[in-house]
Amino acid sequence: MKMSAASLLLLLHLSCLFWNGLAVPQFPEKEKDPSYWTVWAQRTLSSSLELENLNKNVAKNLILFLGDGMGVPTVTAARILKGQLNGESGEESQLEMDKFPYVSLSKTYNTNAQVADSAGTATAYLCGVKANEGTVGVSAAAVRSQCNTTFGNEVTSILKWAKDAGKSVGIVTTTRVNHATPSAAYAHCVDRDWFSDGEMPTEALEAGCKDIALQLFENIPDINVIMGGGRKYMAPRNSSDVEYPGERKHSGTRRDGRNLVEEWRSRMADRKGHYVWNRRDLLSLNPSNVDYLLGLFEPGDLPYELNRNNETDPSLTEMVGVAIQVLQRNPQGFYLLVEGGRIDHGHHEGKAKQALHEVVEMDQAIVRAGQLTSVRDTLTVVTADHSHVFSFGGYTPRGNSIFGLAPTVSDVDQKPFTSILYGNGPGFKLVNGVRENVSTVDYEHNNYQAQSAVPLRMETHGGEDVAVFSRGPMAHLLHGVQEQNYIPHVMAYAACIGQNTLHCQSASGHAPTLAVTPPTLTALLILTGLLC
């Protein structure tokens, strides 16, 4: 049978893929020497032994880095990407979070969901209680979208505990500042999508429920730093955006006619308050002359890091740097919530390259935070709210591009496949009734949607545990496999805020162990819990 030129070329291509998969991977010559690995292991052992001297200082500062959707496979793939961006094979490189001395696992389920969403999880790691999916800052007694279940079921966050203790507090995110993650820090809302009153049903407004943007400015009116996107939710309906005056999709959404930004500016006029909406104005600020900072850099979410306009939009690292310089002016310390929020969006869209570059950028922000603070008095925690059905595999050789092909073709349909795949999502595609041949497309493009097993318009979250990295005072308390709502209790204990104050001895600068409750009192508390 005569073979066409196109078929011959395809066969040659597939053969190359196969033989490349059998080739011996390239790696540094020094790795052939057993002493290389022994010295590395001994050095790691030495530093591990130093951890016996636990840091039990009182945490003056608290920083929580939340990678939205940053599951363990995402962390691993981002580590490889970071190394490859630096000209290495990638596998041996380290993310900044990898260097944290303590790592544990967090169980992410919501009270009514096996696979969690970002709202219920935010309530857990910020307010210390598990909650229903889709709700923020309310207990599991509140029902999504039912306004009347809000009242009496509100729960407060560690950001408020820190503020009440006299610390400065801040929120930095790459999403809207009234998105699921940041909103649980200040809002009590039975629907995460009530961004402004323009997204709320009339009956909810009439019943007395408030939109999340309004709660940002009213519930804790003196949040020192707020940075992210979300301008349109603060402005009257149909009012033009300062950056995109001709684009209706960016116009204001508020039905009440209020301009929340102007109200904030008026209130902060004599309090060293500054509002900025672009990178230039942000970086021109003198942090030593700023007590309050509101930065809203986009009408909605900030752009992906790979798409960011370096002239107009600040990076997450730049925002974190300015935020800490403002917050650390308070001699009583600070609490800062930092969200790498668009990791999640990249995965939902099946765009792994966008998601992983977001992780690398957040890791740079962690580096910057470390440069501006001390491990002696700053507890830093890095974690995720949930994972995604993202994976990479296929027996790839050392140094294989993290966005590249597996070394062999499928032994079922004889087509190549990328190492990165999704369990479901928009990357599912059939061509003439069969799986698309990825070698015919640019699978390393920024917006390439990796193939998925099940077709969905948006990829879903994953249900497995996520990692919790910690360093600083009392970081060792984040150990083992824990419920997600345990995280803010540890952070509060370390800083002697919230309900964790009686055990503190401020004069010594140490936070001793909790006092042992008398047996009779313990029994009474257990009985009360059972009856209630």
Catalytically active residues are 118
**Closest to 219 measured CA to CA, from 193, 195, 245, 188:** 188
Query: Rounded to 5 degrees, what are φ and ψ at 481?
Result: -110, 120
Distance (Å, whole) CA 61 – CA 326: 13
Distance between CA atoms of 140 and 146, rounded to whole angstroms? 13
Quote the tokens at residue 316: 């997450």
344 belongs to an annotated ligand binding site: yes
From CA 322, how far away is CA 327, in angstroms rounded? Answer: 9
**Is 29 annotated in some ligand binding site?**
no
Annotated binding-site residue? 476: no
Annotated binding residue at 179? yes
Q: Is 68 annotated as a binding residue?
A: yes
**Residues 494/477, Cβ–Cβ less than 8 Å:** yes
3-state secondary structure string across 463-517: CCCEEEEEECCCHHHCCCEEECCHHHHHHHHHHCCCCCCCCCECCCCECCCCCCC
Dihedral pair phi/psi, residue 186, rounded to 5°: -140, -20
Nearest to 77 by CA among 435, 385, 355, 377: 355
Distance of CA 110 to the CA centre of its chain: 17
Residues 6 or more apart from 377 whose CB is under 8 A from it? 57, 58, 59, 60, 61, 333, 472, 473
Q: Is 274 annotated as a binding residue?
A: no
Structural contact between residues 73 and 419, judged by C-beta atoms closer than 8 angstroms: no
Tokens for 384? 């995720």
Phi-psi label, residue 173: left if phi above 0, alpha if psi -120 to 50, beta otherwise: beta
- The reply to whether 181 sits in an annotated binding site is yes
- The strands making up 452-455's β-sheet, listed across from edge to edge, are 390-392, 420-425, 452-455
Question: Strand 273-276 to strand 225-229: parallel, antiparallel, or no bridges (unpaired)?
Answer: unpaired
Phi-psi region of 530 (alpha: psi -120 to 50; beta: other; left: phi over 0): alpha
Strand partners of residue 422: 390, 452
Nearest to 459 by CA among 387, 403, 406: 387
Please check if 348 is assigned to a binding site.
Answer: yes
Q: Cα(185)–Cα(181) distance, rounded to whole angstroms?
A: 8
Of 451, 427, 174, 480, whose CA–CA distance to 298 is shortest?
Answer: 174
The annotated binding site for Mg(2+) is made up of 68, 179, 181, 339, 344
The annotated binding site for Zn(2+) is made up of 68, 348, 385-386, 461
The annotated binding site is made up of 68, 179, 181, 339, 344, 348, 385-386, 461
